[in-house]
Amino acid sequence: MADVLTFTDRGIYCPAGDFYIDPWRPVDRALITHGHSDHARPGMGRYLATTGTAPVMRHRLGDITLETIDYGQEKQIGDACVSFHPAGHVPGSAQIRVAVKGEVWVVSGDYKTVADGLSEPFEPVRCHAFITECTFGLPIFKWTPQNVLTQQINDWWTANAAAGRTSILGAYALGKAQRLLTTVNPDIGPILTHGAIENTNTVLRSQGFTLPKTTLVTKEISHKTHPGALVLATPSALGTTWARRFGPASTAFASGWMALRGVRRRRAADRGFIVSDHADWEGLNSAIKATGATKIFATHGYTSAFQKWLTSQGYDAHIVSTDYQGEGFDQADEVEA
Amino acid sequence: MKDFATLFTRIDESTKTTVKTAALADYFQTATPEDRLWTIALFTGRRPKRTITATRLREWAAEVAGLPDWLFEESYSIVGDLAETIALVLPPATESEDQTLTHWIRYIKTLSTLEDDERKAGILGAWNSLPNTERFLFTKLLTGGFRIGVSAKLITRALAQATGQPEPQLTHKLMGNWTPDTTTWEALIEADDPTADLSRPYPFYLAYQLDGFDDLGAPADWNAERKWDGIRGQLIIRGGEHHLWSRGEDLMTDRFPEFAQLRDYLPDGTVIDGEVLAFADEKPLSFNALQKRIGRKTVPKKLLTEAPVILMAYDLLEHEGKDIRDQPLKDRRAILETLTQATPPEAPFRLSASVPFQTWDDLSAARDQSRDLNAEGLMLKRRDSPYLSGRKRGDWWKWKIDPLTIDAVMIYAQAGHGRRANLFTDYTFAVRDGNDLVPFTKAYSGLTDAEFRQITAWVRKNTLQRFGPVRQVPAEHVFEIAFEGIQASPRHKSGVALRFPRMLRWRQDKPVDEANTLDDLKEMLATYG
C-alpha cells in the first residue's frame, strides 16, 4: 500500500489529497495543527485549521485565506478524508487524521496528554501510522502534577509579595502564559502582562475563554503602582530594561527544561517551574501506545534516542527531519541528542 | 535529611550570595552539631569515601527504572550529572524516612563492609524511601564531588554570622586535614585555639592582577620579587615534624621528601610561604620538570636526581611558634633572611630575592626578563603590609607576563557537563600543515555564554559526523588560544602539549587559511619549550 503521507523538503505531504500539513515553505494548500510560529507559517495559498486556532492565526498571519473545521468533523480532500482531533497542546491545537482507502495516519503536531485546565484535552486517535514529536523524549522528563505546580507558583508569589518583591514569571505568549493565568490564585495580588502575552489574552477572551483580570504593562506601571504583582513576561523580556522597572524582584521561568538543574542554573533565574505544553516521557509512551499504531515517525526532539527506544519496544520506528522546534525556550543552546 | 535538603534548595534556587549566606547561617544555628560539621566538610571538598562504584550505581538505577543501559547513558549525557540523572529516572519513592544527614553518611559507610547484593539492597532501599531532592543528595554523597556554588568564603561568612566569631579566625580553623571523623563541631569551631592541630596551615594570601600603577603611590613603598612558576606551598615545622601544604589544601609532604632535612636547619615553630620549584645549578627549571613530580605519591630515586626541588621562600608566617602575620612584610622578611642564612647551600631552601627597582619603568624592564628566568611575572608587595587571608586588593599585586598565543581552527565539539550540559563548550583545535589540519589541543573556557550559545547553534546545524558525544564540524572558525607553556609530547600527534590552554578570543575576522601552522607551533616549542 502506498504511503498516506510522505516527507518532503516543504513539509509533510499527502499525495492522495495534494495538501501539506504544517509546511515550512510556501505551498498551495496547508493544513495547520496549531498556531505556533514553527507550525503555522506565512505564505501559503490556502489554510485549513480548527475553529479554535483560526483567531490566533488571523492575529499572527494577517489577511490569509483560511477555512475552519470543528474537532471530529470529516472533510474529503481529493482521495483523502481528513479530520482534526484535540492535541491538548494549546487552545485549539489539533492532531490531524488522514485516511486513504482504509489506511489511517495521524500527524500529532505538538501535544501533551495531561489536562491543563485550558486547552481541549488530548484525545487518542487509533491509526496505522503515528507521526509524533519527542521534544522531551527521554526518561529524565517527568512533569510536576498540575496541583503541585499551582501550589509552588502561588507559594512563590505569596512569599515575594510579603517580602516586597515583584514576581516576574517568564512563559510563552501563546498557551503557556494563559495556562498559568488560569491556575494561579488571582487573590494574591495584581497580575501584570507583557504586550505579546496580553495580545494573545485578548484573542482567547474573544473566543470565550475565561481568564482572570490582567493589566497590560505600560509606561506608567511599576512596582510602585502595583506592589506585590505577578508579572507574566515572554522569556526574552527577563533581564532587560523592561523588567527592571519592577524594582526588587524574584524571577522565574516556566518550562519543561527547568527539570534540568544545569539549564535552570544557566538561565540565572531565581526559580524554575517544571511545566510544559509538550508530553513528558510517560506521556509520549502512553500516547503512542493508545494509537495502536505499529509505524512511528519521530519528527523533532531527542529523535535518535527515541527511535532506538521505540524500536526496542517492537515498533517500526523512523526519524524524519523537519523544521519544527518543539519547546523553543532555551532552544538556541539546546543539544537535541 | 529534610533540613539539609531545604538548605540545598535555598542555596540552589538563588543566585544572590546574601540569600545563600542567610540559608547557611540558619542551618548552622538549627541543625545538629554533627550535621553542621558534615555540611562544612562536604562544601569544602571533604567528601566521604566512595563505597560503591559509579558503574554499579548506573546499573542499579537503570534496572530499577526499567531502562536499557544505553538509554540511561543517553540521559546521563544530557543531564551531565550522575546523581541528578539517577534521581530523575527512578520511579517515585513508596516509603518515607526522615533521618539526619549524618545518619545517611554512616549508612553509606557501613555498606562498604557488605557483600555486593546486600549493598544493592541497601542502596535500593534508600532510593525508595527518599523524596526527590533528598534522593538526589543521597546519591550525590555516593558519587562524591559536592560542588553546588558555595565557596569556602561563603561558608566562613555564614559561620561568622551564626557563631559571632571573626571571619579570618574561622578561615584558619577550617584549614588543614580534618574530617568529621577526626574532630567535632565543638573542637573545630567552638574551641579557641586554631593551632591545636600541629599540621594546620594558615590561609594563603592571594593577589589580584595589577591593573595600573596610579594608585600605588611611591615605588619605594613596594617590594618586588619574581613570581616563580612552580607550586605554591606552605611549609610547617612544628613539634619536630614537618608538613607541606598546597594552595588547594592538599598535603604534599610525602611527594617532596627532600624537605624533611629542613627540620635540621629551621627552628621548631616555623611556617613559611613559598614556591616549590624544580631547581638545578642555582636556577629554576621549567615547570615541565616539576610536572614529573606532580601527582606521584612516592618518588623513585632516579626522579629525585632528575628533578630536584627546593622551597623558594616568599614569606614567614610563624616564628618561634608565634603567629607573626600581623607584623609588616619588611620585618617578616628580615627574620626570614636571618633564617635563610642559617641554612647551608646544599639544603633545598632559598630566599626569593627582591628585584631592585627605582621607577615603574625599571620594573617593567625586569618583568620582560621573566620568561628567560622561568618565572611567570612579578609580585609587588607593600613593605608594611600584613599577611592577609584569601584574595584581597590593595597590598599585594601580581603582574603576570602575557600568555603565549596561537590562532587555531576548531575541528571537533563536545557538550559540557553540569551547568554546561546541553551546550557545546569543549572544543578540539588544529593547526594547518599544508592541506592538512593537525589537532594539538582542547580548550573549554574563555568564551562568554552568548558566544557558547551561538557556537552551539552552529554546531547543531553543521555536524559532519558523530563519534559518540563528539561532533566533527567543518573547519570554519578560528580561535586565538592562549597558554602558559609548551612542551614536547610524543603522545600527541602534533608532538606538543600545552599548559593551561584556553580560548582568548573567537577570531570571527580571520579566515581559516590565516590560522597558524604546525611549523609555527614547532618554532614556539623550540623557543619556549
Specify the CATH number for the domain of residue A72: 3.60.15.10
In the DSSP assignment, the letter for residue B251 is B
**pLDDT of amino acid B195:** 62
Does A268 have pLDDT greater than 80? no
Cβ-contact B480, B407 below 8 angstroms: yes
The pLDDT-based confidence of B147 (bands split at 50, 70, 90) is confident
Which fold does the domain B205-400 belong to in CATH?
Answer: D-amino Acid Aminotransferase; Chain A, domain 1 (3.30.470)
- How many angstroms separate the CA atoms of B140 and B529, rounded? 41
Mutate to test the interface with A, among B64, B78, B90, B448 (most CBs of A within 10 A): B78
Residues 6 or more apart whose CB falls under 8 angstroms from that of B320 comprise B267, B269, B270
pLDDT range class, residue A329, cuts 50, 70, 90: very low
Angle formed at CA B420 by CA B414 and CA B426, multiple of 5 degrees: 30
Q: Are residues A127 and A93 in the same domain?
A: yes
Based on its alpha-carbon atoms, the radius of gyration of chain B, rounded to whole angstroms, reads 26
Q: What is the pLDDT of residue B196?
A: 66
DSSP one-letter string for B283-346? EEPPHHHHHTTTT-SS--HHHHHHS-EEEEEEEEEEETTEE-TTS-HHHHHHHHHHHHHTS-TT
Same domain, A237 and A209: yes
**Residue at grid coordinates 515498533:** A315
Mean pLDDT (whole number) for A164-182: 92
Sorted by sequence, the CB contacts under 8 Å of residue B374 that are 6+ apart come out as B228, B229, B283, B284, B285, B286, B287
Cβ-contact B197, B351 below 8 angstroms? no
C-alpha cell, B489:
609530547
pLDDT bracket for residue B450 (50, 70, 90): confident
Mean pLDDT of A58-85: 96
Residue-number span of the structural domain to which A95 is assigned: 6-140+277-333
Mean pLDDT of the region B457-466: 85
Asked if A262 and B420 come within 8 Å (Cβ–Cβ), the reply is yes
Measure B506 CA to nearest chain A CA, in Å: 18
Query: In chain A, positions 15-54, which contact chain B (CB-CB < 8 Å)?
Result: none
Please state, in angstroms and rounded to a whole number, the distance separating the CA atoms of residues A312 and B455: 34
pLDDT at A324 over 50: yes
Average model confidence (pLDDT) for chain B?
91
Considering only alpha carbons, which residue of chain A is nearest residue B14?
A270
Residue A323 lies inside a defined structural domain of this protein: yes
Per-residue pLDDT, A216: 95
Average pLDDT over residues A216-245: 90
Could you give the percent of chain B with pLDDT greater than 90?
65
Question: CATH for B404-528, among 3.40.50.720, 2.40.50.140, 3.20.20.70, 1.10.510.10?
Answer: 2.40.50.140
* C-beta of residue B228 within 8 angstroms of C-beta of residue B284: yes
**Residue B444 CB neighbour total at 10 angstroms:** 16
CA B66 to chain A, closest CA, distance in angstroms equals 10
* Interchain proximity A260–B79, CB inside 8 Å: yes
The mean-pLDDT minimum among A66-80, A155-169, B10-24, B368-382 falls in: B10-24
Whether A165 is covered by a domain: the verdict is yes
- Among A306, A65, A101, smallest CA distance to B78 is for A306
Using CB atoms within 10 Å of the CB of residue A102, give its burial: 0 to 12 exposed, 13 to 18 middle, 19+ buried.
Answer: exposed
d(CA B128, CA B495): 52
- Using pLDDT thresholds of 50, 70 and 90, give the confidence band for residue A333: very low
Rg (Cα) of chain A, in Å, rounded? 20
A169 and A284 share one domain: no
**Is the pLDDT reported for residue A198 higher than 50?**
yes
Query: Each residue of B36-70: pLDDT tens digit?
Result: 999 999 998 888 888 899 999 999 999 999 999 99
Q: A326: pLDDT confidence band, cut at 50, 70 and 90?
A: low
Going by their DSSP bridges, the two strands A230-233 and A166-170 should be labelled as: parallel
| Helix B54-65 / helix B69-79 crossing angle, nearest 10 deg | 110
Q: Please tell me whether residue A11 adopts helix, strand or coil conformation.
A: coil
Query: Cell for A177?
Result: 502564559
Q: Which of B9, B82, B88 to mutate to test the interface with A (most CBs of A within 10 A)?
A: B88
Confidence at residue A336, expressed as pLDDT on a 0 to 100 scale: 25
Do residues A31 and A20 touch, judged by C-beta distance below 8 A? Answer: yes
Please tell me whether residues A204 and A58 are part of one structural domain.
no
The reply to whether B227 belongs to the active site is yes
The CA-based angle B191-B195-B199, given to 5 degrees, is: 125
Contact A173, A36 (CB under 8 A): no
**Residue A1 resides in a domain:** no
ipTM of the predicted structure?
Answer: 0.91
For chain B, the structural domain boundaries read 2-143, 205-400, 404-528
Residue A112 lies in a domain: yes
In this structure, are residues B136 and B83 in contact, taking their beta carbons and an 8 Å threshold?
yes
Grid cell digits, residue A73: 468533523
pLDDT interval class at A334 (50, 70, 90): very low
Long-range pairs, B432-436, Cβ under 8 A, ≥24: B432/B512, B432/B513, B432/B515, B432/B516, B432/B517, B432/B518, B433/B517, B433/B518, B433/B519
* Residue A91 resides in a domain: yes
Each residue's pLDDT tens digit, B361-403: 999 999 999 988 989 999 999 999 999 988 889 999 999 999 9
Query: Which member of B140, B173, B227, B381 is catalytic?
Result: B227
Write down the pLDDT at residue B84. Answer: 93
CA distance A79 to chain B (A): 37
Tell which A residues from 96 to 155 touch B, by Cβ distance under 8 Å.
138-142
Q: Does residue A226 sit within a domain?
A: yes
Cβ-Cβ contacts under 8 Å, B80 against chain A = 262
Residue A149 burial (CB count, 10 A): 19
| Min distance A334 CA to chain B CA atoms (Å) | 5
Q: What is the pLDDT of residue A185?
A: 96
Predicted confidence (pLDDT) at residue A1 exceeds the cutoff of 50: yes
d(CA A282, CA B91): 11
Confidence class for position B150, pLDDT limits 50, 70, 90: confident
Same domain, A269 and A282: no
Does A308 have pLDDT greater than 80?
yes
Question: Does one domain contain both A92 and A189?
Answer: no
Largest CA distance in chain A: 67
Chain length of chain A: 337
Query: What is the pairing mode between strands B322-323 and B309-319?
Result: antiparallel
Identify whether residues A28 and A107 lie together within a single domain: yes
> Do residues A77 and A71 make contact, with C-beta atoms less than 8 angstroms apart?
no
Quote the CA–CA distance of A211 and A191 in Å, as a whole number: 11
Mean pLDDT of A165-182: 92
- pLDDT of res. B67: 96
Record the cell numbers describing residue B53, joined without a space. 562504584
B306 falls in which pLDDT band (50, 70, 90)?
Answer: confident
**Residues whose CB is less than 8 angstroms from the CB of residue B361 and which lie 6 or more positions away in sequence, other chains included:** none
User: Which ranges constitute the DSSP H helices of B342-393?
Assistant: 360-367
Residue A55 within any structural domain of the chain:
yes
According to the model, what pLDDT value does residue B493 have?
Answer: 86
B187-242: per-residue pLDDT in tens?
999 887 656 678 889 999 999 999 889 889 999 999 999 999 999 999 999 999 99
Average pLDDT over residues A12-18: 97
pLDDT in tens, B398-440: 999 999 999 999 999 998 776 676 789 999 999 999 999 999 9
- Same-domain pairing of A250 and A322: no
Could you give the CA distance from residue A227 to residue B470 in angstroms, rounded to a whole number?
50
The total number of structural domains that make up chain A: 2
Query: Do A77 and A18 reside in the same domain of the chain?
Result: yes
Name which CATH class applies to B2-143: mainly alpha
3-state secondary structure of A326: coil
B45 or B327, higher pLDDT: B327
The Cα-based distances of A243 to A176, A319, B13, B15, B436 in angstroms read 19, 41, 20, 17, 50
- Of A273, A299, A323, which closes a domain? A273
List, for residues B491-519, the tens digit of each pLDDT value: 888 899 998 999 999 999 999 999 999 99
The residue among B122, B190, B123, B71 whose CA lies nearest residue A302 is B71
CB spacing of A312 vs B68 below 8 angstroms: yes
